[in-house]
A and B are shown apart, each in its own frame.
Chain A
């Protein structure tokens, strides 16, 4: 049980770490190493993934059967219409709610000694965060698959073919990925993992509800309708409905509602650029 077995000789001569790859190659490499670390953690703490699945499934069932029939979609209160309308909203909400997990995970990492190790290694400065967001994206994708199956079971259908449906799912995942960078920034900005859990969740409620996700915006006061139309979240939901061929596509004149695919792409990329920059800067100056 002693740490030294001197008979095995030297621990190898003193050496320097290999030359850094540098640039994008190193950034990608290091991010993937960290992503793998986070995926292994998910595998060893399956509760996180399981509870991540339960919530959206519950939302589908609650919304579909509680509100279905009381909200008119395209002039009809047929619950089947509402369920078809609802799904794009639930999908988008699910990918964005996953960001609360990123906030908490990163906040927790920052309280651990491990982050000092990472920051003392010759690795890419953004990799700890990028790796985390990649792992979260994998988890979100998994959740999406389960959710799609549940959606098909409650009567949701794809009407415009598989390629467009895949494009819609791609846009949803991109939005989810973009939002994990907001989650990362929140996780870096609060002091405790507990604070990160609530801070990571609170802002998501107004964001996802002041939108076209769960009810048509036409019923909202005009000022709220404008906000909902320009909400980045609404653009992705609208794009989803258009690409899936679901009912309840907003007829608003607002640009994002007229060009939802482009608007969704634009918003997601903008969020990634802005929040990744802020988060990486925050990470560098953070003092664990």
Chain B
């Protein structure tokens, strides 16, 4: 399959900062590439180079078969861009915004008009169509922005952190739109800080940090690279941690990691769910009461930590995702998860 997006050795410096330090990537036609990384990793700079907004210091890139440096206008005809900050004119109505974009894509006035109506309906903005965009909620603006990127229904789309700042419901709704677009054959490059999002939407994932690609593969490949599943047990009674450790040692060749403070014991396992049942039976037989037990699959956050030594996200919004890959987390494990996240961060500093 032909690649819709190709980048080779992209370098871009801003003063002292090497925002891009030799980024290579390719996105096969009709697939989604998730560009994953923390703030300042170079995700947005990559998108800006590929959408002709920024000229790289060196390297080359083609989008939809056109060189971004030599044929920027051909590239612009083939792409839609939905940015991190809703790029709409807030004093224009939703309809006026979409019509303007259509006309600037060189559509005829009447075609731009009917396309605007179509998109307003599709994105559930028809009722608000004739209100200035500044009266829209965050989710509505984001939808309008995405609609603007879809005016000509471009074969290649770039979305720079499309769901940052959206509430969960709006995020899910946007995911659905994205999946629909991909089902229709759109090639998509998506940047995100949310590991869950890349896991959910992307066929391939590239992890960037400090302007460099530090890992690439499918979500599963990246997870496998980090190591397999683990069983985590939270023992109720601190006195019994020693006994529980002995029990778990019987299931693990690689030893048991113990966090006395949170009463959490972790062992790497291969047996999956079957083994989990055995662990529970054995602990029960020894009379050890447990607060929580779960089979923990590595999340992309684990991948990130093992690759970079720090979390992908900022402190204020990473607690939940880092704690739980198995769906087993009881309420009281939240603090333990945060404790673990904190340790990870301290290491990074």
Contact = CB atoms under 8 A, between A and B. Distances in A.
A29 B346 CA distance: 57
A40 B118 contact: no
Contacts of A36: 100
B155 interface: yes
Interface string A1-36: 111111010111111111111000010011001001
Given A11-B150, A122-B73, A117 B101 contact: yes
Interface string A122-137: 1100010000000000
A78 interface: no
Contacts of A118: 104
A265 B150 CA distance: 45
B176 A11 contact: no
Interface in A43-102: 44-45
Contact of A3 (B52, B92, B105, B176): B176
A120 B156 CA distance: 13
Given A6-B180, A40-B96, A16 B53 contact: no
Contacts of B51: 116, 120
Contacts of B154: 14-17
Given A11-B150, A26-B106, A37-B100, A117 B83 contact: yes
Interface in B91-118: 91-92, 96, 100-101, 103-108, 118
B87 A117 contact: yes
Interface string A203-220: 000000000000000000
A12 B116 CA distance: 13
A41 B91 contact: yes
Given A3-B176, A44-B132, A8 B87 contact: no
Contacts of B85: 112-113
A118 B77 CA distance: 12
Contacts of A117: 81, 83, 87-88, 101, 148
Contacts of B123: 3
B89 A114 contact: yes
A40 B95 CA distance: 13
Contact of A40 (B91, B104, B155, B169): B91
A248 B16 CA distance: 59
Chain B interface size band reads 35 or more
Interface stretch (B181-189, B242-250, B327-335): B181-189
Contacts of A164: none
A116 B53 contact: yes
B261 to A, nearest CB: 43
A287 interface: yes
Given A3-B173, A16-B152, A113 B83 contact: yes
Contacts of B101: 117, 121
Interface residues of A, number: 43
A226 interface: no
A36 B109 CA distance: 13
A166 to B, nearest CB: 32
Contacts of B146: 3
Nearest to A286: B53
A119 interface: yes
A17 B77 contact: yes
Contacts of A15: 152-155
B139 to A, nearest CB: 8
A11 B180 contact: yes
A69 B184 CA distance: 77
A21 B106 contact: yes
Contacts of B181: 11
B215 interface: no
Contact of B143 (A3, A6, A12, A122): A3
B289 interface: no
Given A18-B107, A116-B53, A120-B76, A2 B176 contact: yes
A18 B186 CA distance: 18
B79 interface: yes
Given A2-B173, A8-B121, A112 B52 contact: no
A112 B87 contact: yes
A273 B271 CA distance: 76
B155 A114 contact: no
Given A4-B180, A8-B122, A16 B155 contact: yes
Contact of B173 (A4, A119, A121): A4
Interface of B: 48, 51-54, 73, 76-79, 81, 83-89, 91-92, 96, 100-101, 103-108, 118-119, 121-124, 132, 143, 146, 148, 150, 152-155, 169-170, 173-174, 176-177, 180-181, 184-186
Given A14-B155, A120-B76, A121-B76, 9 more contacts: A3-B173, A33-B103, A40-B96, A41-B91, A113-B83, A114-B87, A116-B48, A287-B48, A287-B53
23 contacts: A1-B169, A3-B124, A3-B174, A6-B180, A13-B184, A15-B155, A16-B77, A16-B78, A17-B76, A20-B106, A33-B103, A37-B89, A41-B89, A41-B91, A44-B91, A45-B91, A112-B85, A113-B84, A116-B48, A116-B53, A120-B52, A120-B76, A287-B53
- Which 4 residue pairs of A and B lie closest in terms of their CB atoms, listed nearest first? A113-B87, A113-B85, A117-B87, A122-B76
Interface of A: 1-6, 8, 10-21, 26, 29-30, 33, 36-37, 40-41, 44-45, 112-114, 116-123, 127, 287-288
